[in-house]
Amino acid sequence: MPSFDIVSKTDKAEVDNAVAGVVRELGQRFDFKGAKCTIEHKDDVITIVADDAPKLSQMQEMLKVHLTRRKLDVGCLDWSDDQRAAGDARRQEVKVKQGIDKELAKTIVKAIKDSKMKVQAAIQGDELRVTGKKIDDLQDAIRLVKGLKIEQPLQYENFRD
């Protein structure tokens, strides 16, 4: 039976490369000379520390630009609220999304079932498996999911006959 998987994966190596690019740019930019601004990536969490709020917003924009250059969707980032650090410094943790959470999976499955397509969607851990009798039905299901305007980047893998 033809099937495919809907997954949400972010390449950790590319995220590391983007963070390294931001670090290089911080060292070269004149407006960051003498500033104690840092950015690091550990275990799917990027920590940004800046001297003040304007520098924090500049670092956020630099991270978005470097991720886009690496062909990563900025929607893979989950931005938390910034917090006060020592003095006037600001700290923000950004989580890199991996996998499809249960609520989003339920939304996608409900949309597929409500469309009355001749396909079945099943949640398997942090991904979805969609099966159907015809390949055309599966392609219609992909079009439907792409049209849902989901913020998190999704990939469609293992398309099998």
Same domain as 116, residue 89? no
Structural domains in the chain (count): 2
Per the prediction, the chain carries an average pLDDT of: 91
Domain that holds residue 38: 12-96
Give the Cα separation of 90 and 82 in Å (integer): 6
Instruction: Please state whether 25 falls in left (phi above 0), alpha (psi between -120 and 50) or beta.
Output: alpha
Same domain as 121, residue 91? no
Task: Tell me the pLDDT tens digit for each residue of 47-85.
Answer: 999 998 899 999 999 999 999 999 999 989 999 998 888
Q: Which amino acid is at 124?
A: Q
Task: Tell me the pLDDT tens digit for each residue of 100-137.
Answer: 989 999 999 999 999 888 999 999 988 999 999 999 99
Same domain as 19, residue 66? yes
65: domain CATH number is 3.30.70.990
Same domain as 17, residue 81? yes
Same domain as 89, residue 16? yes
Tell me the two tokens of residue 141: 């299901």
Is 95 a residue whose pLDDT tops 90?
Answer: yes
155: domain CATH number is 3.30.70.860
Q: Residue 16: what pLDDT? A: 94
